[in-house]
Structure 1
Amino acid sequence: MKILKRMNKSNNRKNSGFTLVELVIVMAIMGILGLAVTGFIGTSTKQYKYATKDVDLQYEAQLTMNQIGDLIIDAQKGVKYEPATVAAPVEVASANPEAGYIATASAEEASSEEASSEQSSSDSKLIICNNDCTYNIIYRSSEHKIYLRKDTLDPATGAVKADGQGKESLMAENVTGFTPDLSEAESKNSVGLVVDFKAGDKKYTSKQNFTMRNKVPTGADVEYVAPVEPISVHIYYGGRDVSGQSISYVRRDNSNILEFTSKILGGNNPSQEVIWSYTGRAGDWSSTTFNSSGNTAKLSIGENETSKQFIVKVTSKEDTSKYTSVTINVVDTRNWLTNQEMQNVLVPGATLKTWIEPEKVKNSGIEYDPDDFEWHMESYQYIDGTKTKINNDYILNNNSEERVDYGGGIYLSYHIDKTKHWNGDFNQTIAVTSGFKNKEYDILIWVTLKSDPSIGSNIITLRCRPYN
């Protein structure tokens, strides 16, 4: 019986649960642990937010500098900076630093509102001028933002077209400072830029120098003015500018008229009125004439003219200190080549020689060099009495022997040798052998200078005839 009572008493103790003191102690411990965990999580979250703000500001700064830098580097005509025409905003402490921006009030608002908004602005601009447009990088301090605007220019006046002003696009936010530096633009072709960013209590400053590809005018208060090219007079012959040059002209058997034109460049629409003149005519008995009208002139070399050099000069009528000229060296190549036979008839199996006359080359005003010649050949065939070209300007191999095969057993062989002339000079001789049998051909042979292919000799025609 006693044993049974003890067992009942023990069971009653086990079923009685926690006491009030035990519950209070447990709750206190749990509260302490909860506060510790909450504090740890809160601190971690705050640090994460701060770190994220740093990364965001740095990323925004780098992106902004890259975009502006690309525009500066490629500037074509000029870079200038226009600072704000009113005082920068005055910072006032914000009641909520986490709001993002610090509240601002401009100095103008703090003092008076007398200034006209049309005559003043809190915007500062970095303006990049190109050939067909300008890029306006606008820092609007009242909004803490940077905008980009592209304006299209009128190519005739260089001013912004009536409908050319573009729309502003946002480049960057959280901007509290924008300071271009053009102090080294002239000496080092470099533009510096400092941009300050701020979000909440986080700040970041980005500094960078950009080197421009082109040497362009810069300045804080100077509008871009295209450099004025100095006035210069030019003379043209055959469509190319020959001002101040010496050219060669090969005389022909018939007309020998050289035409020139003038043009005055540079300045601001300079007058195109000019005065033409020339020197070089051998004498009054010469039939050489020179005529001019406006910006054109013609030199006609007479058949009995012996002078080998002329100078044509053109002078600005408005400013006679501006002029230019071209020297014309007249080369008479009409008798450079001599043939062995006066009739020039080449029958099958026969050989005719043609050679260069050193004395004739020297007398034409060309410095004689037997290695400075290149031989040419053209072939024509007579078909039913009609002359037809069958070979265009075939350049022959100097100092070699070669056979030109026309097919069907028809051929022409030639051999070029350097031989000694009767006066002691070396010259070149070409020996041509005909293999033509039943057809008629004309073979045209001439030489040009390797040093100046535009100068060519007279043409020797070999008449290849079949057997009668």
Structure 2
Amino acid sequence: MRIGKKGFTLVEVIVSLAIMTIVAGSVGAFIVAGNNSYLRGNKELTLQEEAQLAANQMIDLIIDVEKDINFTPDHTGTAVDLDGSTAKDAAGNEITTAHVSELRLVNNENTYMIRWQGNASGDYATANQVYLYEVKNTTDADGNLVVGDPATATPALMAEHVTSFSVDLSQVKDKRKVILNMTFTYQDRSYDIAETIKLRNDLEKTGTAYAWISALTIDPPSATLPQGKIQQFTYNLSGDAEAVAKGVTWSVSYASGANCKSTINQDGILKVDDEETIGTNVLVVKCTAKADTSMVAYAYVTVEERLIDSISITPKDVEVVRGKSQAFECTLTGKESAVAQGVKWKVTYADGSTTTFSTMPNVSDLINTLNISKSESIGVKVLKVTCMANADTTKSDSAYVTVTAVAGQFQAELIRNVMKPYSYTENGIKKMGWSVDLECLTAWADYDVYPQIVNWEVLEDGVPNPKGYSFEDTTPASRYKQLLKCSNNINKTITVRATVKLSATITVHPEVTVDIPNLLTIDSSDKPYIDGNQFVLSRNSMVTCTLKNYSGDMSKVTWKITNDIEEGLAQSNPVKDNFGGEVGLSRRVGFSRNITSDGLGDYESNLVIDKAVTGFADSEVDYAATRSVFPTAKGETVGVYAKWYINWKEEHVLTLAAFDDNDNEIASTYLLIPRCTFYFSEGNRYYNLNKNDYKHDGWQNGVYDKKVYVDLYGFETGQGAFKTGDKGLKVIGSLVAGGTETLKSGTYIDPNIHCDTRVNDKNETVFTYMIHLYIDREEKNDTLFVTFSDSRVKGDSGEEGGHVSYQKPERALTIFWR
């Protein structure tokens, strides 16, 4: 062995390699950084060179423009390829919704168009490019310049990577300045160009045969319309006032340029033909400036097949008795062939859940019938009937059905009873106001828990709870009545609304309109006013009115109803007073001759009323009940009387006025003749009858006899004016089972309404109407309903036997037989 000659150890080799790696990595990182810096710089240089080159070319074209320059900013257009054909995306679809901007330059001999096309909904190779179009101009026979259409030329590529392009021409007329803005983007680098160009030529002083237009746009730029529909297009044209004033022309064609079936008028209203071709952007609406036909704007229209325009169902909200049927009708509008396909009907509960009790036939007819089972649930808006167009299932309409055991079961109605003045003090001053007795008539309720009117409120012009109105007692002894005090609110029409809870789940909101008369308020000056026992005048009744605070001669005061002819209650209006004055047979309201001890006016028993007025033969009329009335009266106090045969459906608001001997009005007020309606009054809303209380208690023939009293609002039933069998009144009662059991033979009702007397809540004996109800001791239904109607109402014609038809009330009295 040779001593002193050794090689590298393994450790030395590893350390040497590590040092070389560190040095090589540092050198490599330096080289990569330098290369990246070079590439970034090269990108920026490339963008700058291309941007500057494109800008210089555009500046050269713009600066020498001779006749006109205009710019159409970013709008929807068709993208082009390098050969001028329509560009396509990777899937081969044509790009017709590209972002396009166009700058047009008009010279004496040629016209240029610089056209930028940006991104669209689909990617395509020629996006973000700028093209140059050039076309020669010509002259017409008169030597006038005819500007060429650059769109007919083959484009030349000017620049790539242009992501925005805009031209500001706001200073071109005044200062001959054009501002050019472009953004170039390549990979992650961007470069902006902003150039202000001073035109060499004054466009206002050259080319006098050419009108200057700066821009034209159309709105909307796109639309989607069904066949047969119309669309209004508008335009915005800017430039010389003279050129703008010339307006535009409109045209429409297929996208291919071929004539289409649709039309557009010169107001820009497009009418898509009923049989127009269906497709996306199938129509092109073209707007052309009259002053410069090279200035155009386009809108693209997608045409859809027209099917159903509208659908509606009637009735929309209806009440139907269990076990009965209800017809519904659907109205369709739209394309004839689509309407002919009919509809599909469906009945569900209101929440959309399925009902197995109520059914509708499976037909496509526009008229269909809902059949409600006797086992169906009762309630307000229980069922939902839906009608759906077969041709377009997105079009449907629905109606809601209230299901009842008897007609009118869930109805509630508010009526005005007595309206009269009352005195009150405001800021130490005595004034007069109006008060109104209100009553809520319910047809049914869950009387085991008792219905409660949870809220009374006043609405004036739709605004709830206005100032100056108050209810006498928010917790009255009768849950069905309220006294509304109106203080200094006069000469107004208000609405009173009640919230009535009929059961735990059923609440209704009846309303009534109240006309507040123009009562003169009295203050320290004691102005005259008209006082009275009440100002609701019922038929066959009289109200007594007195003039107060009048210092003149009361014997010379003359009373008149100033609008009786206007209201149709006095076709003739004699001017003589009631002392020997003329009596017109057609007068239905007026003043009684005297105020007698019974509070009623005197009458002439031999007064004959023509059948054309009453509807009944002479022998059928109780003339003592008609009483003579006169057009005027004199004195401090008068009685105003309304005849019994005023149509029950009519409501009249009379103006009662007092005049002095010079025919100057002293004071006036209103009298209300309300519509008539039957109802079961307070204390007769329902009856709880315990079967065990009546067993073996002297029943005759095994039935229980119960008297049911009926009141009549708007008609005075007292003083025997109507006797049993009187032809003027035919009210028929009926009895309906509240359950599914058939009524026993001994359960029935005397159909005739009888006249009777009873003691009212003021301990007064009054005349009223009464029905006899008989219940069989073996009756199985635990709920019965008493209903009534005016038998003179027959069918839908409105007339029977030559006299007018009245009304058919729908309200029910509940009998609990338990």
TM-score range, shorter chain: 0.3 to 0.5
Q: Which has the higher contact order (CA 8 A, sep 6+)?
A: 1
Q: TM-score, normalising length from structure 1?
A: 0.37
If the length of structure 2 is used for normalisation, what is the TM-score?
Answer: 0.22
Structure with higher helix content = 1
